[in-house]
Amino acid sequence: MTRPAPIHVVGAGLAGSEAAHQIASAGVPVVLHEMRPERMTDAHKSGGFAELVCSNSFRSDDWQNNAVGLLHEEMRRSGSLIMAAADVHKLPAGGALAVDRDAFSVEVTRRIETNPLITIERSEVAGLPPDDWNSVVIATGPLTSPALSAAVGALTGEGELAFFDAIAPVIHRESVDTSIAWFQSRYDKTGPAGTGADYLNCPMNKEEYNAFVDALLAGDKTVFKDWEANTPYFDGCLPVEVMAERGRETLRYGPMKPVGLDDPRTGRWPYAVVQLRQDNALGTLWNMVGFQTKLKHAEQVRIFRMIPGLEAAEFARLGGLHRNTYLNSPKLLDAALRLKAQPRLRFAGQITGVEGYVESAAIGLLAGRFAAADALSHSIVAPPVTTALGALLAHI
């Protein structure tokens, strides 16, 4: 039997890595193109595949009671590379699936690099892929290079859509005052790698909380460029100061909610809580849960050190903001994720309009399977809409 021509996958993030793995698992050769580290983005820090930028959490792993958890389970049963790597490098995080982000990326990179059916090309695809690439999966994510983004826009005649996403700070564990902060998961819940005491909790009384909100509102923030001025935020990942602007109590009913957390000094729930989640396997780095921010760096240090327990906090990474680009997928893509204007091109991951690590990888999984089926002259069978994978595809 003649082996089919290789499928080109552009981008080795979560979706691209998953797509390449699924294609190779079907016995079809893959050329995986990744421009990093030759050309970096505004948010990445390495050339590793599936680098996690914003958070180290894949959210709830409860497949019986949570939609994201159900998506986890469906992907595991579908042979997902991303879920396999996450399960190897999971960290304590209550009911959530969190990972050591660096070890996770190394794991995905190793598995891709050692797959005999995958060839890696470290260079930018600047513009539309060459005409002789008969099958292409574009999984360049929300930080797609300007040249490729402009080429797709010219091909479709459709302007790109965009929103702002943000990154939370990461703190050195040894700089947290554990005479104030304590270890506990909300309602003592255990999870994939949890014990019921997986988060570091920094309590606030009413006066401390109000002073903190005032500081967030008054803090010096990043100023948008003219072309960014009308770009909206993604509501699932709002900067902490934007949440504060929406109402003084918003944070107490969001990332700073105190329910299910008992301050051992009082035996009661505090007025508000800032939670830190383990960020690496050694437990030396912890990230601020839900604390994405557009505050300038000096302001982050000053304001976040107002939090009880973080007065001497040392930051391994400060928060930031980046603009995410995506397609008007319901108009531009067909049911198999192909570009209607040029069906040899498929799209996968965040560029299709999904948001979240797991959702992006899930669409990479589907795009890879669809592309492999085409290459093998098999019929494309989409998952039923009654599944999490099928519902996500139908949404796109």
Distance of CA 257 to the CA centre of its chain: 23
Structure confidence at residue 235 (pLDDT): 65
Alpha helices in 146-239 (DSSP H): 146-156, 206-218
Residues 361, 82: contact at Cβ < 8 Å? yes
Structure confidence at residue 341 (pLDDT): 92
Using 50 as the pLDDT threshold, list the residues of the chain that sit under it. 227-228
Cis? peptide before 343, omega within 30° of 0:
no
Q: Are strands 96-99 and 170-172 parallel, antiparallel or unpaired?
A: unpaired
Distance of CA 86 to the CA centre of its chain: 13
Structure confidence at residue 163 (pLDDT): 55
Strands (E) located in the chain: 7-10, 30-33, 57-60, 90-91, 96-99, 118-121, 136-138, 161-167, 170-172, 182-183, 199-204, 272-278, 285-288, 315-317, 320-326, 338-339, 342-347
Q: Is 119 helix (H, G, I), strand (E, B) or coil?
A: strand
Residues 171, 287: contact at Cβ < 8 Å? yes
Q: CA-to-CA distance for 180 and 286, rounded, in angstroms?
A: 16
- CA neighbor of 338 nearest in space, from 359, 360, 361, 363: 363
Task: Kindly state the tokens that stand for 266.
Answer: 């009082």
Structure confidence at residue 228 (pLDDT): 44
- CA neighbor of 277 nearest in space, from 290, 258, 293, 295: 290
Q: CA-to-CA distance for 28 and 118, rounded, in angstroms?
A: 9
Q: Is 247 helix (H, G, I), strand (E, B) or coil?
A: coil
Structure confidence at residue 191 (pLDDT): 84
Phi–psi pair at 153, nearest 5 degrees = -60, -40
CA 53-353-287 angle, 5° bins: 25
> Which strands sit side by side in the sheet containing 182-183, from one edge to the other?
182-183, 199-204, 272-278, 285-288, 170-172, 315-317
Q: CA-to-CA distance for 25 and 7, rounded, in angstroms?
A: 13
Structure confidence at residue 200 (pLDDT): 98
Instruction: Return the residue matching tokens 């906090």.
Output: 313
Residue 56: partners with Cβ closer than 8 Å, 6 or more residues away: 91, 98, 99, 100, 101, 104, 277, 279, 287
Is 0.85 surpassed by the pTM of this model?
no
- CA neighbor of 69 nearest in space, from 104, 99, 100, 97: 97
Structure confidence at residue 321 (pLDDT): 73
Count of other CB atoms within 10 angstroms of residue 339: 20
Structure confidence at residue 347 (pLDDT): 96
Residue 80: partners with Cβ closer than 8 Å, 6 or more residues away: 18, 21, 361, 365
Residues 202, 171: contact at Cβ < 8 Å? no
Distance of CA 1 to the CA centre of its chain: 40
